[in-house]
């Protein structure tokens, strides 16, 4: 019995005349994700990608597909000839471990190939009656334990158990939504923000600010690890490590303590913008949510974002910390994010930061610094790291 993977997409269906472009990008992303793990044959028809690979590679290919944006569901299915007898025989063999004693089931059929002689209700009756005779399971069309799916499509017919279907990432394929630059810290929120914006098809670079010796090499390794986890969903990420120590020391020595965090963040935004424009990103991505900390009040965000002319995308803006933590666990970044290695945002932290800053006051304080010289020096020391999925 031949087994195949069916991967179904969602939003791409709505793209009208642009749909083939989105489909081709999705197919390329799938090929890139699995090229190093399995030899495959890939076809696309009727909003479904058919992935044919060796039996011993099915699980690893399924796992890779579960990380690809644009796919809404993935399932393994038995391949059948397009005749009712072969469908029944394959259903019997393929579902043997699902239709056990005490289990209830029903059959749902979809006939995409209208040349098939039986319509969908007739397929359900034929296959359901056959399985009812062959197994101790009982039929329950209203609340079954197992839903047997039969799909008669253009290439073949396929049988599978709906309960064995795996949810995909959804969203849009990477590469369909331009490019943005993520300000990536070692915390919980920014990796989640990167994942969420990537889900809309946006390719991302990442920028991290590193304050040696106040932050350790372990903190840097932590950020690289976070980038490699995000890359499971996005493929390669270009990570730019920016030396930030001198800027923080200058802020500490020349600015009121309550302004330090906001001025630091304004420097970060400016440097990230320079890198973004150089690398053809058209927006910045940050992990703020309103009111989570003093630097994330609306007034503080206004001060921070006013430092740049580029759009700033903040996908977590209305979420709370528990929601962000749940998302981090789902995508696999949480355990790395909570490792106890401080990043530059946690050093030189003021005891009483301002929560209702005025932009003109911050700009007046900032004028004490040679902003352009500090930025140019930081950019001159940037380290680029190509990060791949771990």
pLDDT per residue as tens digits for the range 349-376: 777 788 889 999 999 999 999 999 999 9
- pLDDT band (50, 70, 90) for residue 213: confident
- pLDDT band (50, 70, 90) for residue 212: confident
pLDDT of residue 354: 81
Q: Average of pLDDT values for 137-160?
A: 94
pLDDT of residue 209 exceeding 80, the answer is yes
pLDDT of residue 346: 60
pLDDT of residue 350: 73
Q: Give yes or no for a contact between 341 and 211, defined as CB atoms under 8 angstroms apart.
A: no
The upper half-sphere exposure of residue 218, i.e. CA atoms within 13 Å in the direction of its Cβ, equals 7
The model's pTM is 0.90
pLDDT of residue 255: 93
Report d(CA 210, CA 30) in Å as an integer: 34
CB atoms within 10 A of CB 17: 6
Dihedral (CA of 31, 34, 39, 41) sign? negative
pLDDT of residue 347: 60
Q: Give yes or no for a contact between 146 and 165, defined as CB atoms under 8 angstroms apart.
A: no
Virtual CA dihedral for 322, 167, 195, 330, nearest 10 degrees? 30
Residues in contact with 204: Cβ distance below 8 Å, sequence separation at least 6, in sequence order: 179, 180, 181, 182, 194, 197, 198, 230, 234, 237, 285
User: Residue 76: helix, strand or coil by DSSP?
Assistant: strand
pLDDT of residue 227: 97
Report d(CA 250, CA 366) in Å as an integer: 10
What value does the mean pLDDT of the chain take? 94
- pLDDT band (50, 70, 90) for residue 381: very high
pLDDT of residue 5 exceeding 70, the answer is yes
Token pair 């965090």: residue = 261
Token pair 């666990």: residue = 329
């Amino acid at each position: 019995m031949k087994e195949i993977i069916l991967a179904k997409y969602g939003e791409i269906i709505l793209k009208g005349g642009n749909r083939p472009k989105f489909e081709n990008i999705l197919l390329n992303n799938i090929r890139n994700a699995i090229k190093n793990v399995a030899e495959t044959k890939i076809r696309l028809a009727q909003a479904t990608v058919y992935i044919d690979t060796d039996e011993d590679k099915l699980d690893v290919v399924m796992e890779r597909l579960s990380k690809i944006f644009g796919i809404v569901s993935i399932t393994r299915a038995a391949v059948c000839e397009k005749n009712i007898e072969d469908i029944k025989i394959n259903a019997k063999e393929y579902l043997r471990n699902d239709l056990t004693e005490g289990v209830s089931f029903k059959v749902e059929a979809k006939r995409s190939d209208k040349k098939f002689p039986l319509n969908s209700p007739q397929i359900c009756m034929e296959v359901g009656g056959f399985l009812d005779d062959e197994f101790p399971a009982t039929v329950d069309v209203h609340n079954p334990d197992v839903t047997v799916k039969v799909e008669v499509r253009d290439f073949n017919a396929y049988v599978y158990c709906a309960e064995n279907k795996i949810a995909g990432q959804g969203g849009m394929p990477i590469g369909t939504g331009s490019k943005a630059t993520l300000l990536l810290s070692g915390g919980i929120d920014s990796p989640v923000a990167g994942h969420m914006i990537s889900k809309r098809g946006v390719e991302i670079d990442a920028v991290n600010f590193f304050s040696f010796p106040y932050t350790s090499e372990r903190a840097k390794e932590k950020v690289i690890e976070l980038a490699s986890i995000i890359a499971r969903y996005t493929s390669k990420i270009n990570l730019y490590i920016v030396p930030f120590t001198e800027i923080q020391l200058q802020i500490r020595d020349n600015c009121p303590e309550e302004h330090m965090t906001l001025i630091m963040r304004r420097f970060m935004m400016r440097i990230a913008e320079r890198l973004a424009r150089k690398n053809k990103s058209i927006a910045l991505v940050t992990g703020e949510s309103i009111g989570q900390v003093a630097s994330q009040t609306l007034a503080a965000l206004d001060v921070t974002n006013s430092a740049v002319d580029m759009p700033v995308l903040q996908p977590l803006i209305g979420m709370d910390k528990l929601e962000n933590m749940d998302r981090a666990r789902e995508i696999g970044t949480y355990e790395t994010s909570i490792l106890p290695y401080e990043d530059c945002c946690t050093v030189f932290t003021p005891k009483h930061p301002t929560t209702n800053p005025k932009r003109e006051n911050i700009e007046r304080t900032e004028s004490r610094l040679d902003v352009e010289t500090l930025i140019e020096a930081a950019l001159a020391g940037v380290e680029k790291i190509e990060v791949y999925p771990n």
